[in-house]
Chains A and B, each alone.
Chain A
Amino acid sequence: MRCDEFGNAVHDLGRFAALDRNTREEALAHAQSCNRCAALKDAVEALEANLASLALEDESSGPPERVEAALRAAFRANRPRVLRTPWRTAWAWSLATAAALGIGVLAWQEWRPAPKGPAGKGGAPEEANVQPAPANHSAPQQPAAQAAANPASKSVLDASGFLPLPYEAAPAADEQADVVRVKIARGSLAAFGLPVDGERADELIDVDFLVGQDGTPQAVRLRD
């Protein structure tokens, strides 16, 4: 290694990551053989010690506490409004929520469908595609219902086309019943104990249910 090369490397002898191993070893070997470069190495080391002394002197220095106090004040002055008056925001949201709830309740009360016949109760399958047909479901006195007053109601039901549901007893003699017309999937009839053609199970059909006073469907009539 030449003296000019040593002059470049000497400043990085104290930085292990700045010199590769070979260059470091060559530089140290050169300093042992050259008095001028050895003196330079001593001067560099003395400088490094002096700089380390200065670094140590400043190590624990920091700004006084008044700086933090001033910054806190500046931060508060610049803080977003939403946090400065949280109570206002909470109050506004509470009012808005209450208003929305009130409107929702009124709307539901105003527009909710009138309670239907209990087609949805009892044995009507919930998973069926039940679409209430626009036809009437408020005919309390259908021939089949009138016939229900007859002790031979079962046979009368048969005659009117209504099929008594298997799990239900025949309507009582004086029981009033409603006819409720709905559109359901053909396969839903299986839930009432009636036979269903599997290939046509998804077809929507119009059916009439004879619904007793307790809301239980007691007979069904296919409209198709």
Chain B
Amino acid sequence: MRRREDLPEDDLLRLAAKGDEEAFVCLYRRHQGAIYRYALRMTGSAGSAEEITQDVFLVLAQQPKRYDINRGELGAFLFGIARNLARKHWEHARPEISLDAEAGDCPAPAAQLPDSRAGDPGALFAREQTAALVRAAVMSLPGDYREVIVLCELEEKSYEEAAKLLDCPLGTVRSRVHRARALLMAKLEVLRGHSRRAIAR
């Protein structure tokens, strides 16, 4: 008899619908990482990410019939729920920083951005600092731009995959990524204290 961990998703869904708790937990463990990371990167808060992750899987536990296997993969279904919950979170969160904000308004410490490519013993610390600054810069983006950066840059999804998840044209995803990158470069340039600015499109 195959272990539950080796079963395909539709078999696990069928078992879970019949009340098999371990089948449900298998589904949760397969998808919880991606959902949590998305929620963390969109909200910037571990607490909010935990809450969103739990709420997403509560839907699967309590309303399994909401998922229709004929309409797409389970991961996409769960992502849709997470996206809606994350949107509600950031719409109620404090206003995003203006694109024209000065360096002093940036929530991140106005420190020189360390070179994360350094090979010295402090590389780990430098990487952590870099991550914190970049996270702050990503959080400062408008919701639509933040979303494509999270999917295409941090989750490393292709433009096609992101377009499918976001239910928007591929060209829209591409142009948002380009614009979001330009904004991030501007923010990080400010953080670096450089005089020149990236070209924003």
Residues of A near any B CB (own CB < 8 A): 7-8, 11-12, 15, 17-18, 39-40, 43-44, 46-51, 53-59, 61-64, 67-68, 70-72, 74-76, 78-80, 82-84
Q: How far does the alpha carbon of A48 sit from the alpha carbon of B113 in the complex, in Å?
A: 14
Contact indicator A63/B54 (Cβ below 8 Å): yes
A11 & B135 in contact (Cβ 8 Å cutoff): no
Instruction: State whether B50 touches A54 (Cβ < 8 A).
Output: no
Select B37's contact among A46, A58, A84, beta carbons within 8 Å. Answer: A58
Count of CB-CB pairs between chains A and B under 8 Å: 123
Smallest beta-carbon distance B65→chain A, Å: 12
Asked if residues B130 and A71 are in contact (CB atoms below 8 Å), the reply is no
Known contacts A8-B178, A64-B50, A50 near B188 by CB under 8 Å: yes
Residue B18 is within 8 A (CB to CB) of chain A in the complex: yes
Which residue numbers of B lie inside 8 Å of A, CB to CB?
16-21, 24-25, 28-29, 32-33, 36-37, 40-41, 46, 49-50, 53-54, 57-58, 61-62, 113, 116-117, 127-128, 130-131, 133-135, 138, 149, 153-156, 158-159, 174, 177-178, 181, 184-185, 188-189, 196, 198-199, 201
Question: A75, B21: Cβ atoms under 8 Å?
Answer: yes
- Knowing A49-B116, A56-B127, A68-B28, the reply to whether A62 touches B149 (Cβ < 8 A) is no
Whether the pair A40, B199 counts as a contact (CB closer than 8 A) is: yes
List chain B residues, Cβ under 8 A from A62.
32-33, 36-37
Nearest B residue (CB) for A67 = B54
- In the bound assembly, the distance between CA atoms of A222 and B39 in angstroms comes to 93
Chain B interface mostly? helix
The answer to whether A71 touches B58 (Cβ under 8 A) is yes
**Residues of A contacting B37 in the complex (Cβ-Cβ under 8 angstroms):** 58-59, 61-62
A54-B138, A63-B53 in contact; A79/B21 too (CB < 8 A)?
Answer: yes
A44 adjacent to B185 (CB under 8 Å): yes
Taking a contact as CB atoms under 8 Å apart, the answer to whether B36 and A82 are in contact is: no
A50 touches B61 (CB 8 A): no
The answer to whether A47 and B184 touch across the interface, beta carbons within 8 angstroms, is yes
Give, as a whole number of angstroms, the nearest-CB distance from B103 to chain A.
17
Residue of A nearest to B57 (CB): A71
B111 CB to closest chain A CB, in angstroms? 14
